[in-house]
Amino acid sequence: MRSIMDAFEHGVRDLGFKYRRHGYEFYIGNGEKFLFVVVFFPQWGQVTIFLTRYGETLISRIMSLLRRAAREIQLKFDIRKLY
């Protein structure tokens, strides 16, 4: 799971997002607004995305990035809206 998180971190940076990583959590924004929280649960093979209304239009980019990062591992995704 660590390699997936590292690949995700590089992808987030390459897409131009600003982020802060705390253990298994990524707080992602665009420099002006807070967009997502992405939390990895390696023991369950799950990723939960907490979505703000500002990030709703970008969710497909984040999901695509997560799927590319986790090619060899099947992850369960849970998307929750914070608004």
| Domain residue extents for the chain | 2-81
pTM: 0.89
CA 19 to chain centre: 10
Instruction: Decide if 52 contacts 35 (C-beta within 8 A).
Output: yes
Instruction: Spell out the residues 6+ positions from residue 22 whose beta carbon is closer than 8 angstroms to its own.
Output: none
The pLDDT assigned to 70 comes to 86
Q: What is the number of H-type helices and E-type strands within the chain? A: 2, 5
What SS3 class is residue 11? helix
Q: For residue 46, which phi and psi values (nearest 5 degrees)?
A: -130, 150
pLDDT in tens, 12-28: 999 999 999 999 999 99
